[in-house]
């Protein structure tokens, strides 16, 4: 399976990808063209919207950005289409979770992600619920499509049974898009100052970052499945997610 098949080339996005094709421990496979991950959708061209609506059949958008981000940049023209738009902010502000790290802990991306999971349990549950109940192809996204989006992708892939090697590899694919993401964000009204204030680690999507995050989940909760239970994601919701995302047996 080529990683190039995952990438959906668009004029207004640098990191729009299909989560299909990943294998689970029981030998099943994620459906192609069922759930996507992306960076911000507010610069989509007319051709992009036509492709997403007519070719991909997109039916739902899950926006993980903060209220400030969504307010400044807007949801984008795709939200004007007959597509369900859901705003589920994974953080109150783009830097707040980093400031809530436990006393004495220095900033690192994996601690940032683990804090995001800890502080955002209700939001994570809501996103899983929206994906599980989507009536067609859905996309979840933040600004860069790598951090908040990467955390949600790790949760979703874990819950359907994808192994850590593939989860880490999926996260690391964002590294190829970092320069394009950075260029696009620096053109945006709401991101130039924020981007310049964030720690240098935020400019990367190294595989070891996601591996340390998954290790941190084990240390804090036991497993991603245990984390899901703590977040209120019960067995019925997990089963619905698996049934919706995985190819039939």
Active site residues: 142
Q: Where are the alpha helices (DSSP H) in 134-223?
A: 148-160, 164-172, 178-186, 192-197, 207-221
Q: Are the CB atoms for 42 and 48 separated by under 8 Å?
A: no
Burial label for 154, CB within 10 Å (0-12, 13-18, 19+), is: buried
Mark residue 206 as left, alpha or beta (left: phi above 0; alpha: psi -120 to 50; beta: remaining). beta
Pairing of strands 138-141, 35-38: parallel
Q: Are the CB atoms for 34 and 20 separated by under 8 Å?
A: yes
Burial label for 104, CB within 10 Å (0-12, 13-18, 19+), is: exposed
Alpha carbons 65 and 92: distance in angstroms, whole number: 9
Nearest to 137 by CA among 245, 240, 14, 34: 34
Which residues, including other chains, have CB under 8 Å from residue 1's CB and lie 6 or more apart? 21
């Amino acid at each position: 399976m080529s990683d190039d098949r995952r990438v959906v080339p668009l004029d207004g996005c640098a990191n729009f990808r299909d989560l299909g094709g990943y294998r689970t421990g029981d030998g099943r496979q994620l459906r192609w063209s069922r759930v996507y991950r992306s960076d911000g959708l507010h610069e989509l061209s007319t051709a992009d919207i036509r492709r997403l609506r007519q070719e991909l059949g997109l039916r739902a958008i899950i926006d993980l950005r903060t209220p400030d981000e969504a307010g400044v940049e807007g949801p984008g023209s795709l939200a004007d289409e007959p597509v369900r738009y859901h705003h589920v902010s994974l953080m109150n502000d783009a830097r707040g979770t980093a400031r809530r790290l436990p006393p004495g802990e220095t900033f690192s991306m994996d601690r940032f992600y683990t804090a995001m999971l800890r502080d955002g349990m209700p939001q994570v549950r809501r996103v899983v619920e929206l994906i599980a109940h989507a009536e067609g192809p859905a996309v979840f996204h933040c600004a860069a499509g790598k951090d908040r989006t990467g955390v949600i992708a790790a949760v979703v892939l874990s819950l359907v049974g994808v192994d850590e090697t593939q989860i880490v590899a999926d996260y690391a694919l964002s590294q190829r898009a970092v320069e394009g993401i950075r260029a696009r964000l620096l053109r945006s009204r709401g991101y130039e100052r924020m981007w310049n204030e964030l720690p240098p680690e935020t400019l990367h999507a190294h595989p070891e970052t996601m591996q340390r995050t998954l290790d941190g989940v084990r240390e804090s909760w036991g497993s991603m499945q245990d984390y899901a239970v703590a977040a209120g994601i019960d067995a019925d919701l997990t089963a619905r997610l698996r049934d919706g995302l995985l190819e039939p047996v």
